[in-house]
Structure 1
């Protein structure tokens, strides 16, 4: 597609709208505006046009502004609680210091468009300008009620730092990496950190490129409030009925909830099973020293655990590690007096166990030494001391509802 063909045939530059659905209402809450070009009966994406470095910024701006104008003309007829997501490349946004674009929005405001409905999806991966000026412009736009969304994770930018600087209302996450098994594990870990950060800054997560049911389930499970993608509805020239997927989404969420409930019940049952097993040994061996006690527990949990040790309530290890290697269990004396209070949730879990006087089964995490995905069962054993039992990946795999 030649850029000149587009620039000399602007009548056939048209906006398409991809609906965005919400988890809480199960209905359309917004549309992302996408650029399309009508050519000989075919509809072609304008993505490559806007990404082409050879095309001057003023030409891109002309086409982009036309798309915005055509889109907002149609938006004026929409219900006034529907948001409109406009993709803005940072360089294009800074064209004319951002003033021409703002004036266009203000012209539509005079015609009844509430600018609080506008969400700017900022893409800044290749931005070479002054970030200070960009940030200043975005804060200026915010004074008109315009919201900011960061478009996607980009390895070329300090993504987490930028979220902290911009405090976006929406963080948009591309689920394309989930298609690759190799990338999925690291993506999940990254997303966990991102969801924590989003919660801290008060941002909403929007998952895009949802093309299959398992991606929708992933988005739902990982705190996504908003969803879009071909699995839900493709981009179209016209708006759709807001409740078109309400029953379908209710059904999918019911499936997800049922599945998660089963997993949570399995985790609860596993924790109760470990609690009863360990408590029985503790009651029958009240006078046993810790090394002897652990050796008794090893016999009971040989096919379940791969590491055990005792810490005091401040996190100092007061027993050696008992570790299961290829040739069986052995003692690692060098771990005595190491401190683990720096680990996430350690002290929080200690207080919870101390108050409840019962054990806790941890979330899934990657073991620092083995690199395997594991869980840890911890339980108060006497006074201010606590036993930690690391559950092997093999056991979790064999009981897959624990994964």
Structure 2
């Protein structure tokens, strides 16, 4: 049998597979994504191509979709999977009134018989797979939310035009798109996107699940960006029954501890470097009184800065730049550019937060690494309180 499925399918050959999901805090299996598989002799094929093929009638898809969910629920009747989460993929195109009613009644029956509680059920919605009647679909989901089910947005990050829809869904879990995770290994811009998504998840109160974890490098990328849940072949492949434990749990634990130690070491280096910069700038401050000639003040400081410092300027407490940009050129000479005078930088994330932190602690702070807008280089910024309401900023390669 080829990689793509062809009709007619023998429904008896379609079975649910369960792919374990690992929790970072428990370091164990916390749930499973339920996937449809077609078994033909020794071949086990994904139903993905079946559901994405436009030529297949939607009623046929609905029937197979219902079959997979029903068979998955039957597996859970033995009651040995209490407290685990079960992720059911819900396609808005297939979630008709009839399917909605059937599935809701299934879950209600399971709740009454104490086989599966609604708070164990996660409805996984594909962000980019929205049909036209958004209001109707959202109202249907609200019934499940009221019942106690959780909502997850799948493939999050592919369709930023759908951020409004994500806000309307009010998801409990965001599943990060596999392709963004893979590209982040060699792309700073993709790592920045992952960082933004992690901040967004915190703001809306959603947990992060990274899928497609196939290497320890991807595992580390997910952990660095706040993943609470992990899913992928590195940890466990899908199987016909929910695995209570997996062999790679110790690998996850060991890798997690290695990542923690590595991050602690990196933070220690950062803070040691920050202390050196504080001492250096303090010693470099001119003994002359600070007048309105801020560029002369900066020039004096620039003479004593190491080569890794390439741009220096001064801002006031409100974020207005009150000096020019002092830039080091390739010949190690400092040049002054006045076009940034009176620009206001208070809109930058954490600018005012750093101002207050400097005022309270009376010391400088080193930023995280970020991409410079002008040079596209990865840089850090060291900010230092040189006088009341006057702050020095040093950009470092």
Give unpaired runs (5+ residues) of structure 1.
Answer: 393-403
Aligned partner of 1:90 among 89, 92, 96: 92
Counterpart residue number, 2:235: 232
Under a length normalisation based on structure 1, what TM-score does the superposition of the two structures give? 0.91
Paired residues of 1:211 and 1:231 also in contact (CA < 8 A)? yes
Paired residues of 2:172 and 2:207 also in contact (CA < 8 A)? yes
| Aligned mates of 1:124, 1:365 — CA distance in 2 | 28
Residues 345 and 204 of structure 1, relative CA distance in 2, 3 Å threshold: same
Residues 241 and 183 of structure 1, relative CA distance in 2, 3 Å threshold: same
The Cα of 1:181 is off from its aligned counterpart by 6.4
Counterpart residue number, 2:272: 269
Counterpart residue number, 1:357: 362
1:311 aligns with 2:319: no
Paired residues of 1:120 and 1:147 also in contact (CA < 8 A)? yes
1:114 aligns with 2:117: yes
Paired residues of 2:90 and 2:123 also in contact (CA < 8 A)? yes
Paired residues of 2:315 and 2:321 also in contact (CA < 8 A)? yes
The Cα of 1:243 is off from its aligned counterpart by 6.3
| Aligned mates of 1:235, 1:390 — CA distance in 2 | 48
| Aligned mates of 1:253, 1:293 — CA distance in 2 | 47
Aligned partner of 2:348 among 343, 349, 358: 343
1:320 aligns with 2:324: yes
Residues 260 and 336 of structure 1, relative CA distance in 2, 3 Å threshold: same
Counterpart residue number, 2:69: 68
Per mean C-alpha deviation after superposition, the further-off stretch among 237-246 and 301-310 is: 237-246
Aligned partner of 1:184 among 181, 184, 187: 187
Secondary structure in 2 aligned to 1:343? coil
1:171 aligns with 2:171: no
1:268-297 Cα deviation digits (max 9, x unpaired)? 011111111110122x62436643332232
The Cα of 1:166 is off from its aligned counterpart by 1.1
Ranges of 4+ aligned residues in structure 1 off by more than 6 Å: none
The Cα of 1:125 is off from its aligned counterpart by 1.8
The Cα of 1:159 is off from its aligned counterpart by 3.1
The Cα of 1:188 is off from its aligned counterpart by 1.8
| Aligned mates of 2:199, 2:119 — CA distance in 1 | 26
| Aligned mates of 1:180, 1:222 — CA distance in 2 | 14
| Aligned mates of 2:138, 2:185 — CA distance in 1 | 35
The Cα of 1:103 is off from its aligned counterpart by 2.1
Counterpart residue number, 1:104: 106
| Aligned mates of 1:156, 1:270 — CA distance in 2 | 39
| Aligned mates of 2:318, 2:43 — CA distance in 1 | 68
Counterpart residue number, 1:380: 385
Residues 115 and 2 of structure 1, relative CA distance in 2, 3 Å threshold: same
| Aligned mates of 1:136, 1:164 — CA distance in 2 | 14
| Aligned mates of 1:2, 1:71 — CA distance in 2 | 21
Give unpaired runs (5+ residues) of structure 2.
Answer: none
**RMSD over aligned Cα, in angstroms?**
2.0
Per mean C-alpha deviation after superposition, the further-off stretch among 168-177 and 373-382 is: 168-177
Aligned partner of 1:389 among 365, 385, 394: 394
How many pairs are equivalent? 389
Structure with more helix by fraction: 1
Paired residues of 2:236 and 2:246 also in contact (CA < 8 A)? no
Secondary structure in 2 aligned to 1:337? coil
